[in-house]
Structure 1
Amino acid sequence: MYKPLGTFPLLLLAAWPFHSAIAQNKPANTKDSVQQKKLGEVVISASRRPVTLDHVPSSVTVVSKKMLENDMSFTTDVTDILAREVPGMAPGSQTNSNVGQGLRGRSVLVMIDGIPQSSPLRNGEVDLRSIDPAVLERVEVLKGATAIYGNGATGGLINYITANPMGNKPISGRTSVNMTGGLVGLKNSVGGRFSQMLQGRAGKWDYITSGVYEQTGEYKDANGQLVGPNYSLGETETWNAYAKVGYHINSRQKLQLMYNFFRSQQNSNYTLVNGDISKGIPATGVLGKTAGVPTGSKGNHNVHLVYQADSLIGGTSLTADAYLESRDDIFYVSFGRFEGGDGQSHTLDKKKGLRLMLNSSLLNRNGFSGNISYGADLLNDITSQPLVDGRVWVPEMNMLNAAPFAETQFTFWQDLILKAGVRIENVGVKVKDYTTLRLTNADGSTITPAINVAGGNLNYTAKLFNAGIRYNKLPLFMPYFSFSQGFSVSDVGLALRDSKVNDIKKINTEAVLVNNYELGFVTEHRGLRFEFSSFLSTSKLGADMIFDPNTGLFNVSRTPERIYGFEAALSYAVLKNLDLSASYSYLEGKADTAKTGGSYNVYLNGRRIAPPKMTATIAYRPIKALEVRAQYMGVQGRDRFVKNAKGVYNGNEGPVKVYNLVNLGASYKLNAKTMFTMGIDNLFNEDYFPARSQWFMQPGFYAKGRGASFNLGIAITY
């Protein structure tokens, strides 16, 4: 149970909704609109109402449609795209799993148009691969703890914004075909991709629909050897079906329905051969039938209905939406781990949600303007993790989450932005009586016995605040500061399945409350934009996965944590046809294992803290129809731990060695309707282990990264 932390004076202003009919209809030649054009008119969802990027007093990265299309000439793996484009995000692993790929050392809430894909009840860490990037308009990444969209975003949120209909034709479309494969070990590595999009407008209706199919070949490393098949994206079949239909009731009201289906499963012709970490021998595979059913996302369904109304009484706007989400994610087979034989688990997650938000102007006179967004969220999330054969590993958890919220934003003298908000979480989780599975060693001896556990209700309440300030007077130095809180029920399912007691009330299922402090600034001058942000993230309880070498199991450590770091990002239009961008991010974190209240004595492991990361991109357009891009990502080393008594590193604590990756891509527009694309991933055929392969210290996941590979495509619009 969390108690209120105090009252922010700015929130008192939210109680008096002074309205102005012209609050959001300023003349185009005002200083404010000129400033927006200078700083960019990117619309984001860092608050519950759309705002421009220069009005956000915290660090946000927007991956635009253009950036997505450029990156897709190398890879369609959205986890790899985000790792290259988002400072502060951990590097990807080129697998179906995003284990360890958090933001600023904490968990991420992944959403599609605001629909949560993550389930903090049982975090399977597969939520980043929830949709194909071809149907996205952009990706909005808010870094640092936030409660804007509910619990689970202790490290930030990633919102996949789906495409909207464009143009005024009754029908138009785009067809693209790609061929992919390895440049080293071409045999059996060739794959293909087909994407079809149609869109149009007719009267009050508009629509967009899309279908994507992709089949990858075998993934080969820099030596032409098969990459270990555990969760590999090689030999993977992906489907995505997307549709959005809108009806404009009148000039101020709109109704929109969206549906998206995503499936991505590996059907490998190989069985796993474990790697030998001590000798540097990578995991690979031999021909043979893979045990169990195909791993990956068996199906992820999202349905979203939105009603929007503008300029109601007093200029108030209304957004009401309802959504359904259902997903089934299948994991690899655990041999000899469970009583009764081998087991393969899958997470089942079903969500139903309702949201209501009103936005009203507060005042607009004498250089002052403001607004308040207020409403409530209601979410029912039912999550479990059974084995595929029906045995119960994690029982069904039925969560009901109700949360009223309010958020204000004020602009003073058109340059000083103040923002403050509050959200009250009320969470209840129901669990029926269940029995844990007895876990065994390879010889069948018991590691943990089966225990009959009495179910019951788990209840959480939390009052969460955010506040920020930004000053945009001087383009050369636009500083900002923010304080925000995040809340998560912190993988209740993991605690339930590993229970050593007979009653859930005796299990430590206390939620995680995170305080995030951020200080940064933006510099803009002509074609240059530079942003620097530093942050500190603290929590009285953590959820660190600690490996026990005696049992071979991971346990959750609930100790105080302190994480800090900084990020820098630069973009520069050197010439009209030459653009440069670069970024650097650094992160460190420690835990107070003795719970002394201030002595953070143990480093957080690699699952939480990513090594430093550098990125850079050069885009050159020698002629109007041709663009050539070179992309770099460098993952620096991290070595914080010592070997255990057995002479090996504990799980999640392996040292990470440096590796550097370069991509080369080009796009050529033959005419107004036809474009050719070419991409080479890992241009210099770097022989490396991705960061997760190194720190995870699991022989089955000690797989190398993909060697040099190609992607050739043609796209036709009409």
Structure 2
Amino acid sequence: MSASRKRSVLLAGAGIVSAAWSIQAHAQTSEASDDTAIVVTALRSSGDAKDLPVKIDVFEEAEVRQQQSLAATSNEVLANLVPSFAPSRQKLTGGGESFRGRAPLYLVDGVPQSTPLRPGSREGVTIDLEVIERIEVLFGANALQGLGGTGGVVNFVTVSAPKDGSLEQRASVGLSANDGLDKDGFGWRAHYLIAKDFGSFDAVASASYEERGLFYDAKGRTIGIDNESGDIQDTQARNFFVKLGWEPSDNQRIQAMVNRFYLNQRGNYVRVDGSRTLGRPAISVDGTPRGDLAINDVWTASLDYSHSNFLGGKFSLQGYYQNFKSLFGGQLTASFQDPLIAPIGTLFDQTQNNSEKYGAKTTYALTAIGGLPLDGAIGFDFLRDLTSQPLVLTGRVSVPPTTFYNYAPFVQLTLKPLSFVTLTGGVRHEIGNLEVPDFVSRAGNRADFQRVPVKGGKRNFSDTLFNAGINVKPLPGLTIYGSYSEAFSVPDIGRVLRSVSTFGQSVNTLLDLAPIVTRNKEVGGEYAVGSFRFGVTYFESKSEFGQMLVARPDGTFDLARQATKTSGWELTAGAKPTDWLNVTGGYSVLRGRFDSNADGVLDSDLGAADIGPDRMSIGIDITPDGPVSGRIQSFTYFDKTFTNRLGATTARFKSYTTVDAAISVEVMEPVTVTFSVSNLLDQQYFTYHAQAATAANNLYYAGRGRSYNLRIGAKF
């Protein structure tokens, strides 16, 4: 585990909002001064990020590896690292894992992983963390990367070949177990990576495999497996990654990346539902799930070209492709029933989300335009997304093949009229075209089980999004900033289409297909003196015609379109009293309201499926001279009560605190052994989603109890 220190900067890009943030820089990184320029790839800008007003956390590789040993998925890693991320559900499907109360946009090397037309909440698990070199988290709704990202952007940056021309190899094996060392609780993984820079050509290749066992709570009970929505328990996953680069000249680079991720349930267990009345969680028992087993099957590919001196500026072009298939487990749910196929209550079926997208992003950036302290960037983005959700066992349609085209030109300017003042502003024009064929909705949408024909059609919409920000550094170590920004997204169109139950509906008249424009205001500041840093941010995010999830009795969710507002405070602090001790802390307060009766008043709380709880996190890194280093971290999620417009309580969340610990030992060059303990104090709790987002007994899941992870890694 490498030593770390914090350095804070402020960032901005085309159409993004702002806040304070800190970059993690590790011991193997050169000690940069405060004057060193910071470049973040997700910003699509070559300017110095420190002078611009946007909040970003950048987590370098050592910290990613450390958290990987304490978490089961990349979503859980983010929940550990980012205070305003909702707590992880500890499942494959991350519905309700919001970012600042809204949906994050996931990227891999800039390629969108999210499936906005029919979100399956699986987009956070599409690549093995072993090939991730850095995670860039942009806070707040933004239009920088196009469609989506109303809560922020998460960009997973993949490993590159070493620049010194050496051959680099990495190998690791890992073993995980529950506190009782039960046979069915064991898991293991293996990974190998090879990389080399040959001069004008470089290459990286990686392969990994992982099997996970069952999870246990702090009382030694198995945790219920979610074979319907998808689980991390009892799964096997494999990942193959290749990245090739060619530099035909000193200022040009062509890069190709392909990643294949495949995860599937193994089908050894079934769930026994819990009881909220008795406080009994859902558990897993031996058994064979009915139907086909849940999978995540994802191909991601990109081809990038960059020229650092093109007509006096920097030009970049990325073409990308993704094929995302996520099969959900089967159910006897009411909405699947159809008397023309089988008697009511007996029809078993399951759905699969299919999303195939391709697109392109272009950016051209200039600095010191006309000899003035003015930088600028222009660009154009294109996306084509084809999404469908068939009922695979009966061949019916849940969501018909729906095609979305998105075109977006943008321009962004940065002006520095004084050495301590930076102004930013930009505009982005979004054009969306939606095409839906004629289809017949599910009979189970109606109480009389009649099939409803829906006439297809085309919907066209557009909007112009603005952003502006100011960053002022009046005193050494002090930064004050503010910004306004707008973001563009589409509602969960698949959920709208699959739920049609009224005769005479058509795509051209469904108001729920109208786009979502999110408007953000944000102010904050940061002060750093010596080894101490403190930052505070306040934000508001509004959508006049937003979306929220409404829980059904069977544990599924319907979509409601109402005006929504989220707001919150984020506080961060850090101190390094000695070279070997680093203490960090974070605190977030989140609020969410919506207009329940369309009277223009935000009168009810957003539910736990839409917004996370208040939270405090503390981390202590101990890195003395020598081969041993360690980390202790704690997370406290505070009580939260949800009320409706009449003041009646609709849900409650009971707080809990967990503590994790990890120790690393460099036993010999180049081998490092890391031993990690999650939930060190063996706290018994029910997850945030299980407590407050739904009343279904089948989703009443306890959180993981104390568990262990042993990793042996070598870099040579």
Task: Tell me the SS of whatever aligns to 2:607.
Answer: coil
CA contact (8 A) 2:42 2:155 kept: no
Q: Output one character per residue of 1:280-321: Cα deviation in whole Å (capped at 9) or x when no partner.
A: 111112211111222241x111110001011122x2111011
1:529 is matched with 533
Residue 621 of structure 1, aligned match among 615, 620, 623: 623
2:643 and 2:556 mapped to 1: Cα distance? 19
2:516 is equivalent to residue 512 of structure 1: yes
2:444 is equivalent to residue 439 of structure 1: yes
Task: Letter of the 1:676 partner, please give it.
Answer: V
2:352 is matched with 346
1:302 is matched with 300
Residue 539 of structure 1, aligned match among 537, 540, 543: 543
Residue 579 of structure 1, aligned match among 575, 578, 582: 582
Task: Letter of the 1:175 partner, please give it.
Answer: A
1:285 is matched with 284
2:188 is equivalent to residue 189 of structure 1: no
Q: Output one character per residue of 1:605-640: Cα deviation in whole Å (capped at 9) or x when no partner.
A: 111121101111101123321111101111111112
CA contact (8 A) 2:161 2:168 kept: no
CA contact (8 A) 1:76 1:132 kept: no
CA contact (8 A) 2:162 2:168 kept: no
Task: Tell me the SS of whatever aligns to 1:218.
Answer: coil
1:450 and 1:280 mapped to 2: Cα distance? 40
Q: Output one character per residue of 1:177-227: Cα deviation in whole Å (capped at 9) or x when no partner.
A: 111111135232111110101000113101111111111111111112111
1:663 is matched with 660
Deviation at 1:37, TM superposition (A): 2.5
Task: Tell me the SS of whatever aligns to 1:503.
Answer: coil
Q: Percentage identity across aligned positions?
A: 28
Q: Output one character per residue of 1:433-471: Cα deviation in whole Å (capped at 9) or x when no partner.
A: 00001117xxxx936632000001011101011111111
Deviation at 1:52, TM superposition (A): 4.1
2:705 and 2:37 mapped to 1: Cα distance? 39
Alignment of 1:251-650 (within 5 A): 251-297=250-296, 299-313=297-311, 315-337=312-334, 338=336, 339=338, 340=341, 341-363=347-369, 369-389=373-393, 390-439=395-444, 446=447, 449-501=450-502, 502-508=505-511, 509-547=513-551, 554-597=557-600, 599-641=601-643
Task: Letter of the 2:276 partner, please give it.
Answer: I
Summarize the Cα distance change of 1:187–1:197 in structure 2 as closer, same or farther, 3 Å threshold: same
CA contact (8 A) 1:36 1:54 kept: no
Deviation at 1:557, TM superposition (A): 2.1
CA contact (8 A) 2:452 2:501 kept: yes
Deviation at 1:679, TM superposition (A): 0.3
Deviation at 1:552, TM superposition (A): 7.9
Summarize the Cα distance change of 1:178–1:554 in structure 2 as closer, same or farther, 3 Å threshold: closer
Runs of 4+ in 1 over 3 A off after TM superposition: 39-42, 50-53, 362-365, 445-449, 551-555, 641-644
Gaps of 5+ in 2: 1-12, 14-30, 342-346
Q: Output one character per residue of 1:690-714: Cα deviation in whole Å (capped at 9) or x when no partner.
A: 1011112222221111111111111
1:31 is matched with none
1:288 and 1:269 mapped to 2: Cα distance? 6
1:716 and 1:43 mapped to 2: Cα distance? 29
Gaps of 5+ in 1: 1-10, 12-34
Task: Letter of the 1:512 partner, please give it.
Answer: I
Task: Tell me the SS of whatever aligns to 2:75.
Answer: helix
CA contact (8 A) 2:72 2:232 kept: no
1:321 and 1:342 mapped to 2: Cα distance? 43
1:208 is matched with 204
2:78 is equivalent to residue 72 of structure 1: no
Deviation at 1:388, TM superposition (A): 2.1
CA contact (8 A) 1:359 1:374 kept: yes
1:3 is matched with none
CA contact (8 A) 1:515 1:537 kept: yes
1:43 is matched with 39
CA contact (8 A) 2:117 2:387 kept: yes
Task: Letter of the 1:316 partner, please give it.
Answer: G
Task: Tell me the SS of whatever aligns to 1:311.
Answer: strand
1:539 and 1:47 mapped to 2: Cα distance? 24
Summarize the Cα distance change of 1:317–1:236 in structure 2 as closer, same or farther, 3 Å threshold: same
Summarize the Cα distance change of 1:603–1:296 in structure 2 as closer, same or farther, 3 Å threshold: same
Task: Give the alignment's TM-score, normalised by structure 1.
Answer: 0.90
Summarize the Cα distance change of 1:456–1:676 in structure 2 as closer, same or farther, 3 Å threshold: same
2:682 is equivalent to residue 715 of structure 1: no
1:258 and 1:552 mapped to 2: Cα distance? 38
1:187 and 1:36 mapped to 2: Cα distance? 48
CA contact (8 A) 1:57 1:470 kept: yes
Task: Letter of the 2:486 partner, please give it.
Answer: Q
Summarize the Cα distance change of 1:681–1:41 in structure 2 as closer, same or farther, 3 Å threshold: farther
1:654 is matched with 651
Task: Letter of the 1:295 partner, please give it.
Answer: A
1:7 is matched with none
Task: Tell me the SS of whatever aligns to 2:613.
Answer: coil
1:680 and 1:364 mapped to 2: Cα distance? 57
Task: Letter of the 1:702 partner, please give it.
Answer: Y
Task: Tell me the SS of whatever aligns to 1:439.
Answer: helix
2:247 is equivalent to residue 248 of structure 1: yes
Q: Output one character per residue of 1:49-73: Cα deviation in whole Å (capped at 9) or x when no partner.
A: 1444422312212122121011122
Q: Once superposed, what is the RMSD of the aligned Cα atoms?
A: 2.2
Task: Letter of the 1:398 partner, please give it.
Answer: T
1:6 is matched with none
CA contact (8 A) 1:322 1:354 kept: yes
CA contact (8 A) 1:639 1:654 kept: yes
1:228 is matched with 224
Task: Tell me the SS of whatever aligns to 1:134.
Answer: helix
Task: Letter of the 1:661 partner, please give it.
Answer: T
1:176 is matched with 172
2:448 and 2:629 mapped to 1: Cα distance? 58
CA contact (8 A) 1:627 1:667 kept: yes
Q: Which deviates further from its counterpart, 164-173 or 230-239?
A: 164-173
2:181 and 2:713 mapped to 1: Cα distance? 27
Task: Letter of the 1:241 partner, please give it.
Answer: F
Task: Give the alignment's TM-score, normalised by structure 2.
Answer: 0.90
Q: Output one character per residue of 1:342-394: Cα deviation in whole Å (capped at 9) or x when no partner.
A: 111111000111122111224375xx522111120111100111122232101
Summarize the Cα distance change of 1:201–1:547 in structure 2 as closer, same or farther, 3 Å threshold: closer
Task: Tell me the SS of whatever aligns to 2:348.
Answer: strand
Task: Tell me the SS of whatever aligns to 2:698.
Answer: helix
Task: Tell me the SS of whatever aligns to 1:342.
Answer: coil
2:149 is matched with 153
CA contact (8 A) 2:176 2:188 kept: yes
Deviation at 1:261, TM superposition (A): 1.1
